[in-house]
Structure 1
Amino acid sequence: MKPILAGKSILIVEDYPAMRKAIRDMLYILEADTIVEADNGVNAINAMTKTSFDIVLCDYNLGNGKNGQQVLEEARYRKLIGQHCIFIIVAAEQTASMVLGAMDSKPDEYLTKPFNAQQLFARIERNLRRKQFLQGIEKEIERGNLFQAIQDCEQLLAANDQKMRTHLLKKRAELATLVGDFETGRQVYQQILQERDLPWARLGLGIIEYQQGNFDTAIAIFEALLQDNPLFLEGYDWLSKTYETQDKLQDMQQVLNQAVDLSPQSILRQKKLAETADKNGNLAIAEKAYKAAVTLGKHSVHKSCGDFTNLAKLYAKTNDSEHALKVLKEMRHEYLNNPEAELRATTLEVELHKKAGNEQLADDCLKKMLTLSQQLGNEVPKDLQLDIARSCFLQNQPERAEEILNGLIKTHIDDDGFLNDIRRMQSGIGLENHSEALIQSTKRELVAINNKGVTLYKQGRYGEAMALFEKAMSVMPDNKTIIINMLKITLHDLKNADHDQQKLLRAQKLFKKARQVGIDKQKLGILQMEFSNLLRKNKLEAKA
């Protein structure tokens, strides 16, 4: 065996000392020289915050606390592991739900116990070769230099390395889709499928149809994919996402339910199922999923105090105040001295006390709620703001409720899903179509601003166009359409500016804001590619 591990930093995460020693001895046989050990998930995360590991061997079942899937999720979420790192989940159990759960988090490898040094070597070597081969492309993607990543991909494809060809084609198709070059992406995926029926290539075709707004075609592709590959979990996620775009919540719930049955350890999928079933009025399914999200959240980076209050709100809907208050008590214990958790609990208590006929307690909670909300300011999540508006309506504070709704509608006017949440909230308290006039007038206002800005832009009056959108952004700070338009103008300005550092920083700030508000990766990808081209051109000119 070749000495492939010399100089590589390796982390072993295993709760059994004897097994840790066995893996360590195998690694020494493979000439590893830098090995760190962790006996649980928390210690593994701590180790990764201190060291950038090349290889992580993580057992799935780590006893009490985080499991291997949750360790990988947190490491990725917190960017504790880079693209170069090989993450291998190791497991002894072979139940379908556990295997699917482990694979759901997309480790580089899944290794079944028992295994020997030769098997471990083969897995590590295969992934090292792949990672090293794609290293240049991945680095350019991390830098946001998508143009160079595509160029590097094309050069490697021209070299015709047959062992790496499929990996390269997959990366090339993904990059094409990311930058909005859908025709190239479609051609590459179809080329792959002519040679071999690979589920991820069929998924890629469906994603392209989704991105182009061909939702019925996308649904047909995803449904056919799942019929032939019923364990392919990404297919369920994209099918449910497409149904959500069309506001087909019953179909969405059915698809999510199937995915959760296959992989019940996915907290994000459990949250989505709970919210969808709740909106559909399927309270038994919603309760089960909310409970699962709360349980999984104890050791997950995706834990949220909102999971507790969503479950408590469900009990409030069924007039089960006892269980609702019990859940809020548990949340306060779990999130001690957390302002958001306290605000969520107090907001729901307004309604609970009102239902119980305790008007004084309801008023006291309302005052506390408004004080906490003012203290948190812009940090109050939009779903919680909507709950606060609901409580204000219930306690005869319509002016405050209208003020909150006005801000929510203006900020999220291009988020149809959230606008439907506003409509559902108002219908639930007997205010059907209450904000419809404001929603429609705000949409018209946004269209008018957008049209005026585009007209100014086309007339070459870039400063006036930018000033218009900046003024609009002060009123609608998270509006995706405005952010995209400001990015377009900034990039156009950069084309005609000689190394304008201020405009470069403005573009970077807008890209960061766009990612924060959840603008579609494909929309951003096109602009990111343009930006990387500008940066590349500036570097070349600077060298000249």
Structure 2
Amino acid sequence: MNNPLNRYAEIPFLIIDDFSEFRLSLKQMVESFGALQVDTCTNADDALALYAEHYHKVILVDYNLGEGLTGLQLLEELNYRNLLRADTIFVLITGETAMDLVMGALEYRPDDYLAKPFTRNTLKARLDKLIRQNELLQPVYNSLIKNKPNHALALCEVLPLKNKRTSMDCLKIKGDIFLKSGEYAKAANVYQSVTEQRELNWALMGLAKSYAGLSMLPKVKDLCERIICKNKYALAAYDLLTETLCDLGDFEQAYGLLKSAIEISPNSLIRQRQLGQLALRYLEIETAYTAFKKVLLLGKNSIKIQPDDYITTLQVICMVQFGSYGGLSRRAPKEYTGIYRTILKNYPHDIQLNNAVELHKVLLKYLSNKNESQLEEITTLLNKISKSPDKLKPFLVSQISFIEQYIDNHDIKKAIENTISIEQSELLTQENAEKSQNYNRQGMLKFKQHDYLAAKSAFKTALVNAPSNANVALNLLQCLYKLTIENHNKQVEQATLVLCARSLEHLEPSDHRYTHSQSLFCHIKAQLANKNIKGK
């Protein structure tokens, strides 16, 4: 352990702020503590490059960084790229005091949050505390950095015997390791041992996640409701409960719950997207419009934005334009141009996205003047798309289905039928929750019996019926991994892996299922590569 008197001399710092005066002031503060290695930069892009090269122990970043990524989006990007090391201390600094911004910041779980203005002594007191605890857990962090989770688990058994202050942190780390590795029963045991002593929110939340992994949905529901009763700001519990309610088919309660969560913290892209989708289910178009407009705003510079978000937003604006929404029906269409421009800028080479936009533009022309020439133009576009050898992406299928809702024309309907099959449309627009749950239960039973081929078939059918169910996708991935280990490589089709990937792409890096899914994908690819090499 470092000597407290020269602790800071060996700690590399990274300071990110776009204002030179504050950046210099912060640098001088940490240098006055004894820091000798202090890198500074003005934006997130430079910060990513610097951190990837030096892996600083402490990152001090301002929330607002001018143009480009914010401090929060930097944390998001580091997690998404799997760059953020276990022992890095991430401190967010901001002058924002509005509750929605504060809650949004805390949701990303930085190690600490400092509100401006603050003194040198305040900064040092915070850093001293963070670094002392970090040093106690450094052996565990070293094992995690070296990707040795079993060694980290062994250390988590030993460290509390030497220093009781590490007990709770070690239990949290153990639970997290088991969650990330998909060992949900073991994770549940860890969290249960904590809650039996004291009902800490993080342990209750970990237990709820463990039960979700075990598909014990009623228990997940009960736990999340308990957590929210204890702490109305427990947003992770709102999110897990929303997902659980959707899996149980209770979309109405999920919709109401999402509205409550968004009132507390509106700056979550994923949450706004879910709200918009559920609003469309209940044809609450104005709510959907507000939600998806927020999605695009939050998605600027974010890795979470998807092409589907832009197309859905265009569709919602179209519903508003040709609906009876007073002034909103006149104002909303003014946003088309900006969205088109953003799509072209961000996805210049995506042919399918370009086709979806062109279909949308021609549909608007037709709805505006009912000209037969636009019908011919839509038919030509659909015939062109039908000849593409590539599998159609969900947003393009969605846009084609959207056209069918507005145009009752024999030639158009026939062109649509030739472009997307009825099965494809149903796959992407309906979730047969009950059928999915039944097949998922069958898959789990076969998996426990080590009949991985039968389990794969059941899980795949479950996922086809509920393509956005991340838990089912993880079950299928786990099954594919087992098949590769047992040399059934031919049973691990690329199309099935793509199906899983699409179901999991909405997960946030902070979600334990995200890390678990990435690990499974890596293991499957490694197994397939090894078997291919040995087979040559």
- Asked whether 1:98 is paired with 2:92, we answer no
User: Contact 1:353–1:362 at 8 Å: present in 2 too?
Assistant: no
Q: CA deviation at 1:7?
A: 4.2
Match of 2:373 in 1: 360
How far the C-alpha of 1:331 sits from its partner, in A, is 1.8
Q: Which moved more, 1:119-128 or 1:390-399?
A: 390-399
> Is the counterpart of residue 111 in structure 1 residue 110 in structure 2?
no
CA contact (8 A) 2:86 2:141 kept: yes
Q: Distance in 2 between matches of 1:508 and 1:377?
A: 14
Q: Name the SS for the 1:56 alignment partner.
A: strand
Match in the other structure for 2:504 = 518
Specify which of 169, 179, 182 is matched with residue 167 of structure 1. Answer: 169
Match of 1:388 in 2: 400
- Pair 33,152 (structure 1): closer, same or farther in 2 beyond 3 Å: same
Cα shift at 1:118 = 3.8
Matched, 1:422 2:429: yes
Secondary structure of 1:164's counterpart equals: helix
For each residue in 1:106-138, what CA deviation from the matched residue of structure 2 results, as whole angstroms up to 9, or x when unmatched?
A: 111112223334433333343344445545555
**Residue 414 (structure 1) aligns with:** none
Does the Cα contact within 8 Å between 2:12 and 2:56 map onto a contact in 1?
Answer: yes
Pair 1:490-2:487 in alignment: no
Is this contact kept in 2: 1:267–1:296, CA < 8 A?
Answer: yes
1:263 corresponds to: 265
Secondary structure at 1:89 match in 2: strand
Which stretch shows the higher mean deviation, 349-358 or 292-301? 349-358
Return the offset for 1:143.
6.7
Please give the secondary structure, in 2, of the residue aligned with 1:24: helix
CA distance in 2, matches of 1:523, 1:51: 23
- Runs of 5+ consecutive residues of structure 2 not aligned to the other structure: 324-328, 506-511, 531-536
Seen in structure 2, the aligned counterparts of structure 1 residues 33 and 141 have a Cα distance that, compared at 3 Å, is closer
DSSP-derived class of the 2:171 partner: helix
Within-5 A mapping of 1:391-410: 391=403, 394=407, 396-398=412-414, 401=417, 404-405=420-421, 408=424
Cα distance, 1:365 vs. partner? 3.9
Judged with a 3 Å threshold, the aligned counterparts in structure 2 of structure 1 residues 96 and 280 are, in CA distance, closer, same or farther, namely same
Inter-CA distance 245–114: structure 2 relative to 1 (3 Å threshold)? same
> Is 2:361 the partner of 1:349?
yes
Q: Contact 1:57–1:89 at 8 Å: present in 2 too?
A: yes
Distance 1:54 1:209, change over 3 A: same
Query: 1:209-288 to 2 correspondence within 5 Å?
Result: 209-288=211-290
Contact (CA 8 Å) 1:366, 1:391: kept in 2 or not?
A: no
Which stretch of the first structure deviates more once superposed, 192-201 or 139-148?
139-148
8 Å CA contact 1:350, 1:365 repeated in 2: yes
TM-superposed deviation, 1:516: 6.2
Q: Could you tell me whether the CA contact under 8 Å between 2:307 and 2:395 is conserved in 1?
A: no
Matching residue's letter, 1:385: V
State the SS of the aligned residue for 2:412: coil
Change (3 A) 1:315 1:116: closer
1:20 aligns with 2:6: no
* 1:81 counterpart residue number: 84
Between the aligned partners of 1:146 and 1:510, the Cα distance in structure 2 is 28
TM-score normalized by the length of structure 1: 0.74
Aligned partner of 2:336: which letter?
Answer: L
Using the TM superposition, name which of 56-65 and 513-522 deviates more: 513-522
Deviates more, 1:397-406 or 1:290-299: 397-406
| Residues 278 and 343 of structure 1, relative CA distance in 2, 3 Å threshold | same
State the aligned residue count: 484
Q: What is the CA–CA distance in structure 2 between the aligned matches of 1:443 and 1:370, rounded to whole Å?
A: 37
- Give CA deviations for 1:157-191 in whole Å, capped at 9, x if unaligned: 5x352111101111222333445554543343233
The residue type paired with residue 93 of structure 1 is E
Which residues of 2 match residues 130-145 of structure 1 at below 5 A? 130-135=133-138, 137=140
Given the superposition, is the C-alpha separation of residues 274 and 482 from structure 1 closer, same or farther in structure 2, using an over 3 Å criterion?
closer
**1:334 aligned residue:** 342
- Which amino acid counterpart does residue 26 of structure 2 have in structure 1? I
Instruction: Name the aligned partner's letter for residue 422 of structure 1.
Output: T
Deviation, structure 1 residue 58: 0.7
Deviation (angstroms), 1:229: 0.4
Pick one of 293, 298, 301 that aligns with 1:299: 301
Could you report, residue by residue, the CA deviation over 1:52-104 in whole angstroms, capped at 9, with x for unpaired residues?
Answer: 33321111233454332222222322334322322100123333222211111
- Does the CA contact (< 8 Å) of 1:487 and 1:511 recur in 2? no
SS for the counterpart of 1:163 is helix
Q: Percent identity?
A: 21
Match of 1:37 in 2: 40
Q: Match of 1:377, SS?
A: coil
The 2-side partners of 1:517 and 1:58 are apart by 33
Aligned mates of 2:421, 2:130 — CA distance in 1? 51
Greater CA deviation, 275-284 or 329-338?
Answer: 329-338
- Please say if residues 383 and 419 of structure 2, whose CA atoms lie closer than 8 Å, have aligned partners that are also in contact: no
Cα distance change of structure 1 residues 350 and 139 upon mapping to structure 2, 3 Å threshold: farther
Q: Give TM-score scaled by structure 2 length.
A: 0.75
On the 8 A contact 1:60/1:68 being kept in 2, the answer is yes
Distance verdict in 2 for CA 1:248–1:129, change over 3 Å = same
Give the conservation status (yes or no) of the 8 Å contact 1:313–1:324.
no
Q: 2:188 corresponds to which letter in structure 1?
A: R
In structure 2, relative to structure 1, the CA distance for the partners of 1:341 and 1:108 (3 Å cut) is same
- How far off its partner does 1:31 sit? 2.1
Classify 1:32/1:524 alpha carbon distance in 2 versus 1 (closer, same or farther; 3 Å): closer
Asked if the contact 2:375–2:412 (Cα under 8 Å) also holds between the matched residues in 1, the reply is no
Superposed CA offset, 1:200-234 (max 9, x none): 11112222333333323322221121122011111
CA distance in 2, matches of 1:514, 1:149: 29
Shift of 1:26: 1.0
C-alpha spacing 1:181/1:81, structure 2 compared with 1 (3 Å) = closer
Q: Does 233-242 or 506-515 show the bigger shift?
A: 506-515
Aligned to 1:377: 390
Partners of 2:212 and 2:72 lie apart in 1 by 29
- Structure 2: which amino acid aligns with 1:9? P
Alignment equivalent of 1:5, drawn from 3, 8, 11: 8
* Distance in 2 of aligned mates of 1:325 and 1:377: 32
What letter matches 1:486 in structure 2? L
**Paired residue secondary structure (2:305):** coil
RMSD of Structure 2 on Structure 1 (CA):
4.5
Q: What does residue 64 of structure 2 align with?
A: 61
| Equivalent-residue separation in structure 1 for 2:387 and 2:156 (angstroms) | 51
- How far off its partner does 1:237 sit? 0.8
Could you tell me whether the CA contact under 8 Å between 1:192 and 1:201 is conserved in 2? Answer: yes
- Name the SS for the 1:230 alignment partner: coil
- Residue type of the alignment partner of 1:331: I
CA contact (8 A) 1:11 1:56 kept: yes
